[in-house]
Structure formats: structure tokens, C-alpha cells
């Protein structure tokens, strides 16, 4: 008796993709060797394969930029943490001062110690 097996989908096979063409030091496409042309926004484009051409170390440049951004974000987080800590301490101080003021005010509002004369008048 054949048993029913769940059909597993075949793993997706991704075809090997060649690295994108880059701009050579001579200013041409690394793939087809054609001289790059300038498109809008000073982008360099290969007129043959229409690849957007960047210098080969462009990714390294991007990585450096990303690391710089990460570093800046880390510093900002640290600064925010310190500011938050200072804010919390300030709030704690203010709360303590207010509590002391309340205690002092309550002390003033306390009726002076009376003898039992007042209660006895109720008879």
C-alpha cells in the first residue's frame, strides 16, 4: 500500500550571478570594455550593457560609510542613555524636594495640640 507522503517543494535553485560590472581605472565597463558614458546625476553607465558603473572599491567605500554611521549611531545611543540617566536623576531630586515641601507644609497645617475641652462640649 503506497503511503501518502507530503510533497516537499524543491529547494529554490538560484542561478549563479556574475558580479556586476564595474568601472575600470580607464573609465570603461569591466564587462564589455566600452567607455562609460555619463547619464543623469553624473551616473556612469555602460552604453553596451546599460550597467550602472561604479569604481570597484565602491562597496568598500560604502562599507566605510556604513561603519561611520554605525559608530555615530552608537555614540548617539550612548549620549541619549546618559541624558536619560541625568533626566531620571533630576526627576528623582525634584520629587524628593516636593515630598520634603509637602511634609513641611503638612507640619505647618497640623492643628496645635489641643486638650480634650472641645470634645467634652458635645454633651
Whole-number Å distance between alpha carbons of 55 and 60: 10
Binding mask 54-93 for Zn ion (x = CB under 5 A): ----------------------------------------
Is residue 49 a contact point for Zn ion (CB under 5 A)? yes
Applying CB under 5 A, which of residues 24, 48, 52, 56 lies at the interface with Zn ion? 48
Between 49 and 62, name the residue whose CB sits nearer to Zn ion.
Answer: 49
Percent helix, strand and coil across the chain, each to the nearest 5? 50, 10, 45
Per the document, the length of the chain is: 123
Whole-number Å distance between alpha carbons of 86 and 79: 11
Window 8-47: residues binding Zn ion (CB under 5 A):
29, 31-32, 46
Structural element, H or E, at residue 52: strand 52-53
| Interface with Zn ion (CB under 5 A) | 29, 31-32, 46, 48-49
Amino acid at each position: 500500500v503506497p503511503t501518502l507522503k507530503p510533497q516537499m517543494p524543491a529547494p529554490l535553485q538560484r542561478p549563479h550571478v556574475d558580479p556586476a560590472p564595474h568601472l575600470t581605472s580607464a573609465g570603461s565597463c569591466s564587462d564589455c570594455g566600452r567607455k562609460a558614458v555619463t547619464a543623469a546625476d553624473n551616473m556612469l553607465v555602460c552604453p553596451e550593457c546599460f550597467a550602472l558603473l561604479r569604481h570597484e572599491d565602491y562597496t568598500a567605500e560604502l562599507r566605510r560609510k556604513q561603519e561611520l554611521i554605525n559608530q555615530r549611531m552608537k555614540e548617539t545611543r550612548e549620549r541619549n542613555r546618559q541624558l536619560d540617566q541625568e533626566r531620571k536623576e533630576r526627576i528623582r531630586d525634584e520629587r524628593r524636594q516636593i515630598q520634603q515641601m509637602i511634609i513641611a507644609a503638612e507640619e505647618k497645617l497640623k492643628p496645635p495640640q489641643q486638650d480634650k475641652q472641645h470634645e467634652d462640649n458635645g454633651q
